[in-house]
Structure 1
Amino acid sequence: MGYEIDFLGVGEESKSGDAIVLRYGNLYGHRDEQTVVVIDGGFQSTGSKIIDHITTCFGTSRVDLVINTHADQDHINGLEPVLNELEVKELWIHQPWLHNQGLASKFIDGRVTDKSLGERLKKNLEKAWALVEQAESKGVNVREPFTGVTDTGGGIKVLGPSVEYYESLIPNFDGMPEKASGTSALESFFDKAAASIHRFFATWGEDQIDDEGITSAKNNSSVITQLIVEGRRSVFTGDAGIQGLEHAADKIEQCTSGADLRFIQIPHHGSKRNIGTTVLNRLVGEPISQGTSRNITAIASTAKYGEPKHPRKAVMNAFTHRGVKALATRGTGICHNFNAPSRDGWSSMDPEPYHFDYEEEVA
């Protein structure tokens, strides 16, 4: 048993996105001994890359499972051509419009109803709604990926979100009415705040991230999954923030498989708002001595010209001084594998260097 995890290059300019293609099973055997999975599809133009990669590198046009972590355009838009041109068996995607019972009571405006809010969610998340319609028209099995859901191959399992946590996030999705509590997400404040470039000096083992990072409700609704093969755990985080990752860490700590973490996706393209010291310690471990390794690989999916926003050097440092081989795609493809055939034209990459002196935007 082995696996190949391919991060495809997304973002020719400065806008980052996610498109992950993986397969696991007997990679030296017949296609029927393998499970092929797509996690997110990047932008519309990324769809053709995914199709080419699966047919060329995996030698198949069949996909066992497509997972959309959340409905942001840099994660969902490329999945339409995948469903159109490949033989997809199953789609995992959240359908918030099905979770509208009692939703109207969360808002000040007494004119809204549960039904109208369900329709609003379909409109606001039009790409997700259309993808579900497309899948169902093609006979693709559609499931909502909540904690505990597993794939037919038995290797993929959803760590989060739970139904309850997901439903608690829906009232804070973009485009929803003003909440009855009068609270508002802080994401828009940070997005609008003026940014300036500051210079930082880092010391090995000292985090320059904290536990105060805030991301949007939609990001925190991201599907977090794990793959376990031969006692090796790989974790895929989408754009989840600290709160979502904490819930996933709870599930990992309760796991009795004995699997060791060997791979983790750096959430939200290496954004500083999505990872904190405490949850990183839980997922990976505390900082260790320079020159030592935990034999863990971490990849951030970033645009070619995504810096300094994606990835943040403080985030890459935080993984590196925990003994992790941290990498960023920067618009190119990266493969992490175990017990897999070699590929012509693919070679090993050096990890991100530790940044002792760097400049970053500060809002």
Structure 2
Amino acid sequence: MYQIDFLPVESENGLGTKSGDAIAAQFTLTDGRTAVIVIDGGYSATGESLVEHIDTYYGTRYVDIVISTHPDADHINGLKHVIETLEVGELLVHRPRKHAVNIDDFSNLEAVDNLISAAETRGVKVSEPFAGMQRWDGQLQILGPTQDYYREMLEQHLQEVKSGVAARRRSLAASLMTKGRDVLAWALPALPIETLGEDGETGPRNNTSAIVVLTVDDHRILFTGDAGIPALSAAADQYEVAIGSFDAYPLAVLQAPHHGSRRNLAPTLLNRIVGAPGTRVGIFQAPISSAKASPKHPSPKVVNALTRRGGYVVATEGTTVCVQNQASRAGWTTVPALPPLHEADD
């Protein structure tokens, strides 16, 4: 049994158009026990929503593992409240101070420090999530990054910050933002020809994201943070070593990385991990954590690429999305999959 909840994340204080991740999951271990994990916590206020959700729907105040995929504010800031409010067994978070000397330019470093300090104050075990780490006899596995790749990406990120590349990238993104859009207003009657490119590129900071696979009832669920194509490709290599081929051990759930950004996925990568169009037997769930106010998340090209490969694509867009393999919750209704979307301005 599993129930995985993707909570809606909107920009801090309701300002801006940025998406974020806040995920809670309750599932059965092979020995019959029930476990709870949290993967990312959105902005600071989102932590309160996570605590309330776990209390209400999971009926517990205990979280076995909290995972911070990477230290962007829309992923990490809410986790401190979770650590301080609930009883937590272990925190998995990267420690950039251990892997770089000149770390002062690392943005949101204070949130990392505060999260680790809160965990240590409460006696929570703190570990770094690198490829090969396992919990519960492999039911939860970290597929990436390796420690060497993390250090390489961290150094690249710090060099970008020093040279101003990262700031220019953020400035360009800001210049492209307009008011939020209604995803369904972009609906088309049929899928267009694939235009998702092979040249998508995200920043090295995003490629430090912890990539996690959870296996429950022979269902494999992949959580991707903001990881890009090279990080996900390396994680796919690790998947095939630790679990087996994607054909023999297919994914039941693929979280679209980086809120459905077109810069984080490519057709050949998707063909590898979920199958080429028309080749898959059955569907896979493809949840996307995207803010309702965001004009660029999710990318129509990504929605369409996932759909044509058998994905049942849904986006949070201000609503909690629950992916589960049990009876529906009382009062909850099925979320319709996103239709094919118009790609002209993507």
TM tier relative to shorter chain: 0.7 to 0.9
CA deviations on 1:197-247 (whole Å, 9 max, x unpaired) are: 9x9999747321112111111111001000011221110000011111111
Match status 1:270 vs 2:260: yes
- 1:286 maps onto 2:268 in alignment: no
**Paired letter, 1:259:** Y
Distance 1:252 1:26, change over 3 A: closer
Q: Which has the larger radius of gyration?
A: 1
Listed as ranges, the matches of 1:1-363 within 5 Å are 2-11=1-10, 14-25=17-28, 33-100=33-100, 114=101, 117-118=102-103, 120=104, 125-152=109-136, 154-173=138-157, 178=162, 187-188=169-170, 190-191=172-173, 204=191, 206-256=193-243, 258-288=248-278, 294-306=282-294, 308-338=295-325, 340-355=326-341, 357-361=342-346
Please, which runs of 5 or more residues in structure 2 have no aligned partner? Answer: none
1:131-172 Cα offsets, whole Å, 9 max, x none, are 111111110000000001112474210000000100101112
Alignment deviations for residues 266-294 of structure 1 (CA, whole Å, 9 cap, x no partner): 011111111111211111111128xx863
Could you tell me which amino acid in structure 2 is paired with residue 352 of structure 1?
Answer: L
Secondary structure of the 1:281 match is helix
Contact 1:159 1:252 in 2 (8 A): yes
What is the distance in 1 between the residues matched to 2:96 and 2:51? 28
Distance 2:188 2:49 in 1: 39
1:56–1:194 distance in 2 versus 1, CA, 3 Å: closer
Unaligned ranges ≥5, structure 1: 101-113
Distance 1:174 1:302, change over 3 A: farther
Whole-angstrom distance in 1 between the partners of 2:260 and 2:107: 29
Task: Give the 3 Å change call, closer, same or farther, for CA 56–189 of structure 1 in structure 2.
Answer: closer
Q: How far 1:191 sits from its partner (Å)?
A: 2.9
Q: What secondary structure sits across from 1:173 in the alignment?
A: helix
Q: Is the contact between residue 231 and residue 260 of structure 1 (CA under 8 Å) also seen in structure 2? A: no
**Whole-Å separation in 1 of the counterparts to 2:319 and 2:9:** 7
- Alpha-carbon distance in structure 2 between the residues aligned to 1:68 and 1:166: 14
Label 1:5 to 1:172 Cα distance change in 2 as closer, same or farther (>3 A). same
Q: How many residues align?
A: 332
Structure 1: how far apart are the matches of 2:269 and 2:343? 24
Aligned residue for 1:210, secondary structure, equals: coil
1:253 Cα offset (Å): 2.3
1:60 Cα deviation from its structure 2 partner: 0.1
Distance (whole Å) between structure 1 residues aligned to residue 39 and residue 99 of structure 2: 23
Q: Which runs of 4+ in 1 moved over 6 A?
A: 199-203
TM-score between both structures, scaled by the size of structure 1: 0.83
Go from structure 1 to structure 2 and tell me whether the alpha carbon gap of 1:161 and 1:275 turns closer, same or farther (over 3 Å shift).
same
1:85-144 C-alpha deviation (Å, 9 max, x unpaired) = 1001100000011013xxxxxxxxxxxxx3xx14x2677511111111111111000000
Q: Indicate the structure with greater helix content.
A: 2
8 Å Cα contact 1:219-1:239 kept in structure 2: yes
Tell whether the 8 Å contact from 1:4 to 1:22 is kept in structure 2 after alignment. yes
Sequence identity (%): 39
After superposing the two structures, state which structure 1 stretch, 188-197 or 265-274, moved more: 188-197
How far 1:80 sits from its partner (Å)? 1.1
Residue pair 1:22, 1:38 contacting (<8 A) in 2 also: yes
The 1-side partners of 2:291 and 2:50 are apart by 16
- Matched residue, 1:105: none
Any conservation in 2 of the 1:187–1:215 contact (CA below 8 Å)?
Answer: no
- Seen in structure 2, the aligned counterparts of structure 1 residues 336 and 200 have a Cα distance that, compared at 3 Å, is closer
**In structure 2, what residue type is equivalent to 1:191?**
A
Q: Secondary structure at the match of 1:64?
A: strand
Q: Which amino acid aligns with 1:156?
A: L
Aligned counterparts of 1:194 and 1:11: Cα–Cα separation in 2? 18
| Structure 1 residue 359 displacement after superposition | 4.3
